[in-house]
Amino acid sequence: MSHATTDESVRALAGALARARHIAVLTGAGVSAESGIRTFRDTMEGLWKEFDPATLATPRAFARDPGTVSRWYDHRRLGCLAAEPNAAHNALAELERRTLARAGRFTLITQNVDRLHQRAGSRSVVELHGSIIEWRCTITGRRTTPPAKPLPAFPPPSPFHPEGLLRPDVVWFGEMLPESAVEAADEAARACDLFLSIGTSSVVYPAAGFIELAHAHGARVAEINLDATPLSSRAAWTIREKAGVALPGIVAAMPA
Ligand code: OAD
């Protein structure tokens, strides 16, 4: 591990980003924290204080109590719609524009389900854990984007099948990740020469595995996170700062 100061790491990383052929980025809940969206491992607020998110985010929980699970997800969906992209989302959108403008490649792999990257202007977003903004029929799989107001009933009936319910189009614990997203992330991790891991605890697989894969295929890894993670030792640069502070500084320090 290097003992570079934050300023030195920022300068070195800014230079590497300006030259990279293909930048792959993995984001986690820490990137949305400054938009007021609670990280998954944070405590729950208000009405939901006594619930453990890990026990609500499972197919079994939904099968047992679809009313409670859908109500919780609808509460989170409305929170995401009410939130605004923050300086970290904006800086990543700017980094993508600058990379494409000099004919580089850019892939943004996210574990976040809030769509804030897209709202900030990011284009090549791979949603590993789906999106809470869309819901799908439990029988036909058809997707719909409910309006920005509470769903009319819990559990919500599916408009596509008389026996179906609507469920959030997110990946629950114990479910497969969308195959096309995994393939896209896998390809980017192997092909990139610079991998940025931002605001993720790097404990949930397969997402954390993409950092290892990129490193094993020769990419240099940078980590921006408030805390150390199990994969910090793979990083050429570690920046222990809020993503919304670090990223705009890094993009501003990039040579033109
Ligand atoms: P976590 O909540 O596990 O980790 C968030 C990380 O971001 C932690 O390491 C924090 O230290 C860091 N962090 C918090 N605020 C930050 C900030 N402002 N700037 C930078 N870093 C900050 O979230 P994820 O790693 O995204 O999966 O969790 C991954 C998956 O775990 C989620 O997608 C969800 C959950 O299980 C599913 O639902 C399948």
What confidence tens digit (pLDDT) does each residue in 207-256 have? 999 999 999 999 999 999 999 999 999 999 999 999 999 999 999 999 98
Cβ atoms of residues 230 and 17 within 8 Å: no
What confidence score (pLDDT) does residue 5 get?
76
Strand 143-144 to strand 130-137: parallel, antiparallel, or no bridges (unpaired)?
Answer: antiparallel
- The alpha carbon of 202 and the centre of ligand 1 are apart by a number of angstroms equal to 8
- Within 120-223, residue ranges assigned H as helices are 179-191, 207-216
pTM of the complete model: 0.94
Query: What is residue 154's predicted lDDT score, i.e. its pLDDT?
Result: 98
Residue 119: per-residue pLDDT: 98
User: For residue 44, what pLDDT is reported?
Assistant: 60
Cis peptide before 255 (omega within 30 of 0): no
Cβ atoms of 37 and 80 within 8 Å: the answer is: yes
- pLDDT tens string 35-49: 999 766 665 666 666
The answer to whether the CB of 126 falls within 8 A of the CB of 185 is yes
Ligand 1 pocket (Cβ < 6 Å) reads 28-30, 33-34, 39-41, 57, 111, 129, 171, 199-201, 204, 225-227, 229, 242-243
Mean pLDDT for the chain overall:
93
Q: Is the peptide bond before 206 cis (omega within 30 degrees of 0)?
A: yes
Catalytic residue among 3, 22, 75, 129: 129
pLDDT value of residue 29: 94
- pLDDT at residue 152, rounded to an integer: 95
pLDDT of residue 45: 62
Angstrom distance (rounded) from CA 61 to CA 52? 11
Q: How many angstroms is it from 12 CA to the middle of ligand 1?
A: 25
| Residue 1: predicted pLDDT | 46
How far is Cα 133 from Cα 242, in angstroms, rounded to an integer?
A: 25
Q: What is the DSSP letter of 206?
A: T
Q: Is the pLDDT of residue 67 over 50?
A: yes
pLDDT tens-place string over residues 147-186: 999 999 999 999 999 999 999 999 999 999 999 999 999 9
Q: Is 129 tagged catalytic?
A: yes
